[in-house]
Structure 1
Amino acid sequence: MRLGVNILNWNQADDTLKCVSSVRSWQITEKVVWVVDNASCAADRDRLVAGLDKETLLVSETNRGFAGGNNLAIQAALAAGCQYILLLNNDARISEENVNCLRQALNDDPRLGIVGPTLWDGRNPNRLLSAGGGDIGTAVSPHLTTPPAPDEIREVTYAPGTCALIRREIFERVGLLDETYFFGGEMADLCMRAREAGYTVAIVGGAKAFHTVDRSSEIRHWLHIYYVLRNRFLFVRKFHRRRQWRLFLFWTAQSGRPWLQAVLAGDWRRERAIRLAVWDGWRGRFGGQNRRVSRGEIA
């Protein structure tokens, strides 16, 4: 069955090309690779173009976030007849053997719609980062950190988009990634819709991937703080409407301590990211807000 591999780039051409190089080493015959450039600067895009070979580059002139950028490649993969689509972060690595383990899980069980590997720290391979996740609308720490047994396929609420293999029927039945999230939460959303459609989401115990989180960009750090918190409100709006106001209060209260710590430490960019996240969550202001968070506007 044809496999589509989708890799997203935003001003990290060097990391993206390393990821592409890793994927090139796979001997999977029916494999098509799409690289999406999400409105990177000209110099970064030039490095990306120079380093690609048989991979297809899709260029977005605006930053469409994780969901929007991946949706470009997902649509291309569906049009190309791919039966399975692998979302792979440019800072994640997975071997051909582990990809085949994920494919086998989908082949063996038609009820499985989305599967992921256990995620381990690329800098410390013995440190487990995630074994799937719980409900991001209600759980403060949704990442599960107890790995399944090597021969176990464990059902979870969602599989992280860092590395996830998705059956094409999922997109055909429930739609693409929700671009309203922009960054963070869109995979939890997709998994929830897949589960509501009768599919199972699982982590395959016999498959591993490694994720090396970028710690070099201060701006990305503040954006991550903002989107993770704000998108809890969006997820609650979509899937917990009966408890919406109670959960809004819950997430506002949860943000109080880190906000106060930021104030006391004089960490005004962190304070601003948290404040804007709660403000926008209550007001229903979603989508991409990179410039507002970076500049600290609240209008």
Structure 2
Amino acid sequence: MNILTVILNYRTPVMTADCLDTLAALPETTAGRMRAVVVDNASGDGSPERLESHVREHGHGTWASVMPRAVNDGFAAGNNAAIRVGLTDLTPPDAVWLLNPDTLVRANALAPLVGCLTANPNVGIVGSRLENRDGGPQRSAFHFPSVLGEFERAARTGPVTRLLARQVVAPPVPSGPTRTEWVSGASMLVRREVFDTVGLLDDGYFLYFEETDFCRRATRAGWDCRYEPASRVVHLVGQSTGLDERTHLPKRVPGYWFAARKRYFESGHGWCYARAADIGWLAGHLLWRTRQRVERRPDDTPPGLVADFIRQTWGSTGVSR
């Protein structure tokens, strides 16, 4: 397979350069079967020039290029800019590898993904095992969000999680290759024919839920989605977005997260289902708050979360950034 790798940069030129350096060591790169495009979403910090200089000085110019854009209109639109050009090329790629700028690919990370698509014609999307620098796994194979899944996610209570195990959006990391409902867009290989079938990523998402929505559309069109742990990719969680709940809480959940969640439920399931999911989340959060106060647990809730949830979900139709 010939692979087009797309990396979206927004004010993370150092991390993006490090990611490119790890790509340079892949066998597919040295054999000329992989080319990469770094899309810069109007960073305004000199990122395009710095990345072009890095590509030139490190000898990546034979397989990597930089695509500056004049506007920052989100993750989906930025990736689509490169995908659109690649798919209309005289020699379009057989698959597109979406890769976050805050990733470092391990040796031979691409080959298992390609192997999965080659061996399984019904598989349209396959994702990597994401891990920490020390090799510890991150959850990257998921179930689609649902009403009960929203309740479980907000409740954060052991008995509820066990009862609704099949609804948990982020189940435990699988021990081997497995079919899943969606995979993280931090490292996701997509067969070209999937784009032919369902189109590009939905530009209506600024950030978050775009890969969930894309996998859902692909699944409804008859494509399978797989998780392939033999493909190992280090993911420096949250360093490109500032939202890493494992190390610190953001001052406030950004409006575009609520807007993306709302778009996902309404576009895929309709207004009534979306409101049911909202009620499920609020009920779960109330349960968590009750438990937190009764057991005197530390309050790790982002400030203004419920007020923001209600205002952004029920009172806003636009995307707040």
TM-score by length of 1: 0.83
Matched, 1:240 2:264: no
Pick one of 34, 37, 59 that aligns with 1:34.
37
Aligned residue identity for 1:77: G
Structure 2 gaps of 5+ residues are: 154-167, 245-249, 293-297
**SS of aligned partner of 1:97:** coil
The Cα shift of 1:104 comes to: 0.6
Please tell me whether the aligned partners of residues 137 and 235 of structure 1 are also in contact (alpha carbons under 8 angstroms).
Answer: no
How does 1:1-299 map onto structure 2 within 5 Å? 1-28=1-28, 29-53=32-56, 54=61, 55-80=64-89, 81-122=92-133, 124-125=134-135, 127-138=136-147, 139=149, 140=153, 142-149=169-176, 153-215=177-239, 221=250, 226-241=255-270, 243-254=273-284, 270-272=302-304, 275-283=307-315, 285-287=317-319, 289-290=320-321
Change in Cα spacing, 1:223 to 1:88, as seen in structure 2 (3 Å) is farther
**Structure-2 separation of matches of 1:239 and 1:216:** 27
**Structure-2 separation of matches of 1:110 and 1:281:** 39
Please tell me whether the aligned partners of residues 141 and 183 of structure 2 are also in contact (alpha carbons under 8 angstroms).
Answer: yes
Aligned residue identity for 1:111: N
Please tell me whether the aligned partners of residues 182 and 225 of structure 2 are also in contact (alpha carbons under 8 angstroms).
Answer: yes
**Structure-1 separation of matches of 2:267 and 2:240:** 34
**Greater gyration radius:** 2
Change in Cα spacing, 1:222 to 1:239, as seen in structure 2 (3 Å) is farther
Greater relative contact order, per chain length (Cα 8 Å cut-off, separation 6+) = 2
Tell me which moved more, 185-194 or 29-38: 29-38
Change in Cα spacing, 1:101 to 1:239, as seen in structure 2 (3 Å) is same
**SS of aligned partner of 2:17:** helix
Change in Cα spacing, 1:203 to 1:101, as seen in structure 2 (3 Å) is same
Aligned residue identity for 2:47: D
Tell me which moved more, 9-18 or 87-96: 87-96
Please tell me whether the aligned partners of residues 137 and 233 of structure 1 are also in contact (alpha carbons under 8 angstroms).
Answer: no
**SS of aligned partner of 1:71:** helix
Please tell me whether the aligned partners of residues 259 and 271 of structure 1 are also in contact (alpha carbons under 8 angstroms).
Answer: no
**Structure-2 separation of matches of 1:23 and 1:224:** 32
**Structure-2 separation of matches of 1:68 and 1:216:** 17
**Structure-2 separation of matches of 1:286 and 1:98:** 38
Structure 1 gaps of 5+ residues are: 291-299
Change in Cα spacing, 1:162 to 1:47, as seen in structure 2 (3 Å) is same
Please tell me whether the aligned partners of residues 252 and 303 of structure 2 are also in contact (alpha carbons under 8 angstroms).
Answer: no
TM-score by length of 2: 0.77
The Cα shift of 1:74 comes to: 1.2
Please tell me whether the aligned partners of residues 182 and 215 of structure 2 are also in contact (alpha carbons under 8 angstroms).
Answer: yes
**Structure-1 separation of matches of 2:264 and 2:54:** 38
**SS of aligned partner of 2:303:** helix
How well do the aligned residues superpose, as a CA RMSD in angstroms? 2.9
